[in-house]
Amino acid sequence: MLGERFSRRRLLGLSALAGVAFGRALPAMQPGASSGVRVVLDTDTYNEIDDQFAVAYALLSREAMTVEAIYAAPFLNARSKSAGDGMEKSYAEILRVLEALGEPRRDFVLRGSKTFLPGAGRAVDSPAARDLIRRAMAAGEERLHVVAVGAPTNVASAILMEPRLKERITVVWLGGQPYDSPSAREFNLQQDPHASRVLYDSGIRLVNIPTRTVSDALTITRPELERAIRGKSRIGDYLYEIFVDYEREHHKDPSTPWSKVIWDIAAVAWLVNPEWVPTTMVPSPILTSELTWRQAPDRHGVRVATRVERDAVFADLFDKLRRAG
């Protein structure tokens, strides 16, 4: 159905395409149903502190999704010595979040790639990539939703290793900048441009949540967190403590206000309630070698978020953290 709709895009025009392409016409793209959707998380969890909130949010949103696996994604910044070291630290951090949640499962957490993609079209094998392929291909008609909130190395590798994933998964990826921006550069995208390009070029069903002007609305302060979740649950205390530690590390003048963006919960929120993260359908842009966007009206469609309802998302997250016990 998707291929047939996109093959007629020249006749439909852009505005009509935005109205029909994997929205109303494709039920699998309507998350938040009472039965929930099948989900795997791909996360560079130790990169900063927003991934931990996203992991907890997803696992506590049982009415909207069933989290079948969590994959550790590579990252490289001041918190890691290499991409592989970042992946290992993320793997360990996922386990700490699960412990704080009282989640007894451990075997559904898998290590991802130790490197970023070495070149265009060159996959990196990993337990995470193989697990993604196995889960997606073994399923019935129901699509697997892949919530990716880091460099999409594991996801892109799986797509390159098994091109039939195009018909089996929906990727909800937080990364990049809005498509009318002069630069596409953003941490997740520029960590692995080859992998990011796969998401746009492969024809995979993609929901993209940009950072600037969209997920950057999800700012929070320590006093707000303290009132909302401190002392309410073990996971709430854990998230509050890592927030405070991060503030001490990055905010050297306690006499001035400071807030932190909890970016990655936007990807989970789209699955919980798509009205909180409104999207529109557009032709997939081309990610150039200079990491800029080039518009291409004849390309297949992707869905992109235009804003985030900040208060609704935090209210839902905080309620679930308080009830976690």
Beta bridge partners of 205: 170
Q: In this structure, what DSSP letter does residue 147 have?
A: E
Q: What is the pTM of this model?
A: 0.90
> Which residues in the chain show pLDDT less than 70?
1-35, 139
User: How much is the pLDDT for 35?
Assistant: 52
What does the DSSP assignment read for 155-222? HHHHHHH-GGGGGTEEEEEE-S--TTSS----HHHHH-HHHHHHHHHS--EEEEE-TTTTGGG-EE-H
User: 179-213: per-residue pLDDT in tens?
Assistant: 999 999 999 999 999 999 999 999 999 999 999 99
What domains, with CATH codes, occur in the chain?
A: 2-322 (3.90.245.10)
**Contact (Cβ atoms closer than 8 angstroms) between residue 146 and residue 124:** no
> Locate tokens 């936007």: which residue?
266
